[in-house]
Structure 1
Amino acid sequence: MVSKLDLYKVFWMVGREKSFSKAAKKLYTTQPAVSQSIMQLERELGTRLFNRTAKGVSLTDEGSLLFEYVHSSLNLIDTGEQKILEIKNLTAGELKIGVGDTISRHFLLPYLETFHNNYPKIKFKILNGTTFEILSFLKSGEVDIAVCNLPVDNQSFEVIPYIDIHDTFVCGEKYKSILSKPLDLEDLAKLPLIFLEPSSNSRKYVEDYLLSKGFKLSPEFELGSHDLLLDFAKINLGLACVTREFSLDYLNRGFVYEVQLKEEIPKRSIGVCYLKSVSLSPAAAKFVELIGERRL
């Protein structure tokens, strides 16, 4: 069955060529098939679209009016198809990522740089927040993927872990005396502690581990930034719970010192999450693939 769109394409070609036979050649079909399509369209619209003459055809007044609209519509369809092709080929489009400030700075930036160099026409939209917040962005469709601290316990998300990270405690010069031997958790709990805010996935992970060991901690300071944790420890306001891999600059420069624990906090991961129920855009799929390749 010929679709209404196919009928309009035939109508447009006849109107442009002013000939059924020339239109048939352009459409790689027969002249009778073109004539049949035009007659079907005229029946459905209840009006004559072409004047038939010995020299060819010309548009009626009604046909001329319809031709302008069909011409515009087919151009819009062609433009839409071209845009889709550009997106598929990564020569246009947008990549929307939800990520925390710390992960963005210490993990994501090299991947963003590589992706931008490879696909400079793709625009970035980066939304920052805690893991809870960026997963909310993911659920609402505000971002394509979330790059966040794991674990994430939600069956609606596809979760791909990429790198292992380790939670540890660091201190400044004032507390260097405690570094002479590994510290047990009981002694740790007696010291002034600096943690991220309670909504942080990192904070929850460490707190849950310490609770499993029978220790409920009451931090002296609760901060919204990993960098602030390091700065507060540096000026001797207490022991800060930080991510070792994201603190190497401060540790290597002697601004803070790592506290050895008798029982190390189990490692966790950073990874990518996206909705199982929604297909990734070509840009998002390529970005996830890039992270996987760089990891290998």
Structure 2
Amino acid sequence: MNTKLEQYRIFNEAATTLSFSKAAHHLYISQSAVSQAINSLEKELDVKLFIRLSKGVILTPEGEMMHKNIAEALTLISSAENKLTSFKELKSGSLTIGAGDALCEHYLLNYIVHFRKLYPNISLKVVNGTSLETIKMVKNGTIDLAFVNMPLFDEALTIKPCLDVHDIFVTGHQDHHVYSYEEIASQELIMLERLSNSRHYIDHIFSTNGVLLKPAMELGAYALLVLFAKYNLGISCIIKEFSAQELENHEIYELKLAKEIATRQIGYAYLKRKSLSASAMEFIKLLTHPQMGNDNQDDNDL
């Protein structure tokens, strides 16, 4: 059976008004178009839906049954269309983001606040987790977008960069020495725990240069890295962009390396097999909008 939805809409209007002429008037089509649609529908269904009278039409028992069910079905379709429109116009819907503490505080926070102001009717949630943890959440459908430390590869995901970052080593006092990788490795190092993707990146950079890092302390919170370096408890490995204020205020000092660590990127990830919602696409637009990025810098001086 290949009946068209439009035929059902015409039938429903004619069944509601019990008049082909009124149905035509309400639908802004000709009366002959209504008659043709009804005749075609009756032929396809092989059933009489209306009894034609000189002063209008009445429904057959089959027509009454069809009218009840078609009216309910069209109401559901109309409701779904209205909801879809609301989603597209961001009048309703939801967005769940996954990211680590540092990414939330030093990169995403202003975007989250701005998004909430623009779209107050969107239910916005943030879930904390490491890059690997948030990737798992994306894949099991718990969150829509994961913000991760790159490089990261997964065939099930689309992963796109959104921010360049620089990994640096810092301490709480000025030090003009230019350090080799071997010299850095011999210091009292404070680094993120091994589960973090950014830690994997640094370990890989040093190992490819023949140097194995054995930090004195491994921490789970980025803020502690900065704090411990500030109080000269060791040399911390941090992200320069996330601690620009502390560096500018001379609370911590960047150590010079003979060979700078290559720039890496922060990215967002989502399932390839699942289309992004309108709210997720709009959040990504905020990230890539130059003016929004400038506003963030002005707000937090990051």
Q: TM-score range by the shorter chain?
A: 0.7 to 0.9
Separation (CA, whole Å) in 1 of partners of 2:215 and 2:125: 35
What are the superposed Cα offsets for residues 23-60 of structure 1, whole Å, 9 maximum, x if unpaired? Answer: 23333445455345445555666765444433322334
In the TM superposition, what are the counterparts of 1:1-150 in structure 2 within 5 Å? Answer: 3-39=3-39, 41=41, 48-150=48-150
What are the superposed Cα offsets for residues 64-123 of structure 1, whole Å, 9 maximum, x if unpaired? Answer: 444233222212211111121222222222233222221111111222233333333332
Amino acid at match of 1:22: K
Amino acid at match of 1:79: S
Alignment partner of 1:251 is 2:241: no
Q: Counterpart of 1:179 in 2: which secondary structure? A: coil
Q: Counterpart of 1:215 in 2: which secondary structure? A: coil
Q: Counterpart of 2:187?
A: 191
Bigger shift: residues 113-122 or 44-53: 44-53
Q: Counterpart of 1:152?
A: 152
Alignment partner of 1:279 is 2:272: no
Query: Per the alignment, do residues 66 and 212 of structure 1 end up closer, same or farther by CA in structure 2, a change over 3 Å counting?
Result: same
TM-score of the two chains, using structure 1 as the length reference: 0.84
Separation (CA, whole Å) in 2 of partners of 1:68 and 1:83: 23
Q: How far has the Cα of 1:202 moved from its partner? A: 0.8
Amino acid at match of 1:80: A
Q: Is the 2:203–2:213 Cα contact (8 Å) retained in structure 1? A: yes
Q: How far has the Cα of 1:186 moved from its partner? A: 2.4
Q: Which runs of 5+ in 1 are unaligned?
A: none
Q: Which runs of 5+ in 2 are unaligned?
A: 295-302
Q: What is the aligned length?
A: 292
What are the superposed Cα offsets for residues 229-251 of structure 1, whole Å, 9 maximum, x if unpaired? Answer: 22333444322211122123333
Bigger shift: residues 134-143 or 29-38: 29-38
Instruction: Report the identity percentage.
Output: 41
Q: Counterpart of 1:233?
A: 229
TM-align CA RMSD: 2.9
Q: Is the 2:3–2:41 Cα contact (8 Å) retained in structure 1? A: no
Q: Counterpart of 1:207?
A: 203
TM-score of the two chains, using structure 2 as the length reference: 0.82
Q: How far has the Cα of 1:223 moved from its partner? A: 1.6
Amino acid at match of 1:222: E
Separation (CA, whole Å) in 2 of partners of 1:47 and 1:186: 87
